[in-house]
Structure formats: structure tokens, C-alpha cells
Amino acid sequence: MNDKLMVFDWAGGDQYHLRYRLSVENDETNDYRIRMIYDPSDEGWSDNIRGRTAMRLRDYGNGVKIKYGNKKIDLDYSEICELFMLLEYYFKHSGVSDEEATVTKFLPVE
């Protein structure tokens, strides 16, 4: 298992950070799995979600399965690329947020 800390900043960066812990592994069937956790040491998260799983992704060789709470979605690799492009456009052009959010760094978990 290989844990990483993902630091997520809002535009302007210095005043607002959120951290997720990513747990990454290849299992015995060679499936690639990522578990995204609300970092338990980040007090920016409320007590009721801090340390809990935000989302899971499993690459099973023919696409991915994503689990977000009770929602599940299966996507093949083409659909993943298309979704990525659509979301990238949406966040850049929709006006939903006045601030642009970015992942600024990935750090090893100590």
C-alpha cells in the first residue's frame, strides 16, 4: 500500500487548503485501487467526515468502478477520458465558482 497526501487549494492558495489522504494499492488480481479519505489530521473538515472515505476508484483492467457514498458508476477507458474533458471544460467555463480549485501537491504520508 502506498499512501499519499493530496493538498487541495483554492485560488489564492495561502488562505484555504483542504487535504485528502490517498491510499493506493495493487491487489493480488492486479486491480489498481485508490481510496480517497478526508484527511484525519485536517481540522478544515468537520468532525463527522474527518477520516472517512470520500470516494473509491478501482481499475479492473477493462475500465474503472467508482464508488461515492451509495452511488456507483462503471466507466470504460474512453468514457473516463470523455468525462474528464467534460468536467475540465465545466470547471473552467461554467461560472459555478469564482475561484479555481487546484491540487497543488502530492506528499508522502509519514
Note whether residue 16 is domain-resident.
Answer: yes
Note whether residue 110 is domain-resident.
Answer: no
**4-36 pLDDT, tens digit each:** 777 766 545 555 677 888 888 887 777 889 999
For residue 99, pLDDT beyond 70: no
Note whether residue 29 is domain-resident.
Answer: yes
Note whether residue 108 is domain-resident.
Answer: no
Note whether residue 32 is domain-resident.
Answer: yes
pLDDT band at 92 (very low <50, low <70, confident <90, very high): confident
Task: Name the domain count of the chain.
Answer: 1
Note whether residue 6 is domain-resident.
Answer: yes
Full residue range of the structural domain in which residue 12 is found? 2-98
CA distance 37 to 33: 13
Note whether residue 103 is domain-resident.
Answer: no
**48-89 pLDDT, tens digit each:** 999 999 999 999 988 999 999 999 999 999 999 999 999 888
pLDDT at residue 68 in the model:
94
Q: Which residues pair with 70 in a beta bridge?
A: none
Note whether residue 17 is domain-resident.
Answer: yes
